[in-house]
Amino acid sequence: MASSEVARQLQNDNCRPLSLSGHVGFDSLPDQLVNKSVNQGFCFNILCIGETGIGKSTLIDTLFNTSFDDRVSTHFQPNVRLRAQTYELQESNVRLKLTIVNTVGFGDQINKEDSYQPIVDYIDAQFEAYLQEELKIKRSLYNYHDTRIHVCLYFISPTGHSLKTLDLLTMKNLDSKVNIIPVIAKADTISKTELQKFKIKLMSELVSNGVQIYQFPTDDETISKINATMNGHLPFAVVGSMEEMKIGNKMVKARQYPWGIVQVENENHCDFVKLREMLICTNMEDLREQTHARHYELYRRCKLEEMGFRDTGPENKPVSLQETYEAKRHEFFGELQRKEEEMRQMFVQRVKEKEAILKEAERELQAKFEHLKRLHQEERMKLEEKRKLLEDDMIAFNKRKAATELLQAQAFASTPSVSLKKDKDRKKDPGFRLELLCFDVRDHEIVNVQEQSEREKLERDRISHREFQK
Ligand code: GDP
């Protein structure tokens, strides 16, 4: 900032500029800050997104000039998984806690529709963890291990065609959450002219789809020029290799082919050096800052608004946290009471409905009972009539029986006995007894006829005997 601008700013802030008469010492503040930061150490978190085997691990190894011994992933992962590994690195007296998050299984599934979701969830989870730490009463942000992603290296296949839908979709879903730096992986597999066309195509596709990639900042005079130039080189075409070869009298990182050698750190061969310069040497702090001031801030704002916190109330008046809390509490209790009342009314309504159903059932039961009672009454009356008829029959039968017995007694003193059942119950049966009576009468008639013929035969025998004697 120019000094005149600073003076104007101070006046606006109602602050009067004064000059010192001698050395005081606060000009050492930047040094104090540097010392403090160096003592504290730094942390930087890189997310690598790209298909399995696209060269993510190799590039990270090449960038930090070390072997991170990342396990080789298979192409048979059922879904996308994020694997984070933290390393403690030191260069001179500066310590760096570096976390590398790898997307395992990215692009390996047949259905890639939701491949970006685990990545979005992971980034949000790191923001949430930081927010929770911030909201704690006893927070320890000073030695908190910040796992928020500072940069996302997005690896694009060197197809020479266009961006895959998966790439567009993933970048679109991440651009408001993380600083995306797109890189064309394995750039040694594409020719120079094809690469130039490919870069232009990719950038125009990103712009037309509204994907916001990270732009190196141009507001700092010292680096604005280089950053502006580098923004024009995006996406960087990179080659990774940990293999060292002797070129001239220097050992360089390279990839050897039957037709020649690709030098990783040769700017005529690829953009690896540009990426390393921009990512590590020039803009690492800006990436950290952007993560906190832009992406995390957005997450925090949305989260707090979701929780009901507002900076201003109605009529645009500033609202304190306490007021917001009270208002929210009031709103919550109001809502609770409304819900309670709703539930109570629903309960009363249900009870009424149930009561009506029960009453209806009772009425139906009563009607059924009355109907059955009436039927029973009618049945009883019918039976009563039948009983009377039966009794009349019995009386008539008994009379007939008495008459028959009298007749029988008069006619025969002894009659062949007909075997009758001795079952008392059967004898009491008027029908059976009537049958017996019929048998008696018929037998009686048979006996009479037999006796008659016997008597006639005897008479005939007596006559014939008398005639014989004569
Ligand atoms: P990752 O699964 O994405 O981590 O991929 P790796 O880093 O394990 O690399 C997979 C294969 O690609 C290895 O055989 C690497 O040697 C090779 N590879 C890595 N970077 C490059 C590159 O820039 N160019 C070429 N041609 N091959 C590369």
Residue having the nearest C-alpha atom to atom 26 of ligand 1: 186
Q: Which atom of ligand 1 is nearest to the CA of 54?
A: 3
Give the pair of three-digit tokens for residue 448.
């009479």
Q: Looking at residue 440, what is its pLDDT? A: 62
- Distance (angstroms) between ligand 1 centre and the Cα of 185 equals 9
CB 230 within 8 A of CB 276: no
Ligand 1 and 50: CB distance under 6 A: yes
- Distance (angstroms) between ligand 1 centre and the Cα of 55 equals 3
- Classify the C-alpha dihedral 281-286-290-293 as positive or negative: positive
Ligand 1 and 227: CB distance under 6 A: no
Ligand 1 and 275: CB distance under 6 A: no
Residues of the chain with pLDDT under 50: 418-421
Chain-centroid distance of CA 364 in Å reads 47
- Distance (angstroms) between ligand 1 centre and the Cα of 239 equals 9
Q: How many CB atoms lie within 10 A of CB 86?
A: 13
Q: Looking at residue 426, what is its pLDDT? A: 61
Strand order in the sheet with 94-104: 81-91, 94-104, 42-49, 151-156, 180-184, 236-237
Q: Which atom of ligand 1 is nearest to the CA of 155?
A: 3
Ligand 1 and 53: CB distance under 6 A: yes
Ligand 1 and 263: CB distance under 6 A: no
> What's the CA gap between 426 and 440, in Å, rounded?
16
Task: For residue 452, give Cα distances in angstroms to 402, 411, 445.
Answer: 26, 14, 10
> Residue for token digits 């001179």?
92
- Distance (angstroms) between ligand 1 centre and the Cα of 229 equals 28
CB 283 within 8 A of CB 115: no
> Residue for token digits 């020719």?
191
> What's the CA gap between 370 and 316, in Å, rounded?
75
Give the pair of three-digit tokens for residue 223.
């680096």
Q: Which atom of ligand 1 is nearest to the CA of 70?
A: 4
- Distance (angstroms) between ligand 1 centre and the Cα of 58 equals 6
Ligand 1 and 105: CB distance under 6 A: no
- Distance (angstroms) between ligand 1 centre and the Cα of 240 equals 7
> What's the CA gap between 204 and 65, in Å, rounded?
33
H or E element that contains 49: strand 42-49
Ligand 1 and 240: CB distance under 6 A: yes
Chain-centroid distance of CA 331 in Å reads 29
- Distance (angstroms) between ligand 1 centre and the Cα of 57 equals 7
Tell me the backbone φ, ψ of residue 176, rounded to 5 degrees: -95, 0
Nearest to residue 436, comparing CAs of 427, 449, 424?
427
Ligand 1 and 54: CB distance under 6 A: yes
Give the pair of three-digit tokens for residue 215.
């732009």
Mutate to test the pocket of ligand 1, among 58, 68, 159 (most ligand atoms within 8 A of CB): 58
> Strand 94-104 and strand 81-91: pairing?
antiparallel
Q: Which atom of ligand 1 is nearest to the CA of 58?
A: 7
**pLDDT, tens digit, 9 for 90 and up, residues 159-170:** 888 888 889 999
Residue having the nearest C-alpha atom to atom 10 of ligand 1: 53
Q: Which atom of ligand 1 is nearest to the CA of 52?
A: 2
Q: Which amino acid is at 351?
A: V
Q: Which atom of ligand 1 is nearest to the CA of 270?
A: 23
Rounded to two decimals, the pTM is: 0.69
Ligand 1 and 186: CB distance under 6 A: yes
SS3 content of the chain, % helix, strand, coil (to 5): 55, 15, 30
DSSP state letter for 188: G
- Distance (angstroms) between ligand 1 centre and the Cα of 166 equals 20
Ligand 1 and 158: CB distance under 6 A: no
Ligand 1 and 440: CB distance under 6 A: no
> What's the CA gap between 149 and 295, in Å, rounded?
10
CB 116 within 8 A of CB 49: no
DSSP SS3 for 263: strand
Ligand 1 and 55: CB distance under 6 A: yes
Q: How many CB atoms lie within 10 A of CB 226?
A: 16
Ligand 1 and 271: CB distance under 6 A: no
- Distance (angstroms) between ligand 1 centre and the Cα of 146 equals 29
Q: Looking at residue 340, what is its pLDDT? A: 95
Ligand 1 and 58: CB distance under 6 A: yes
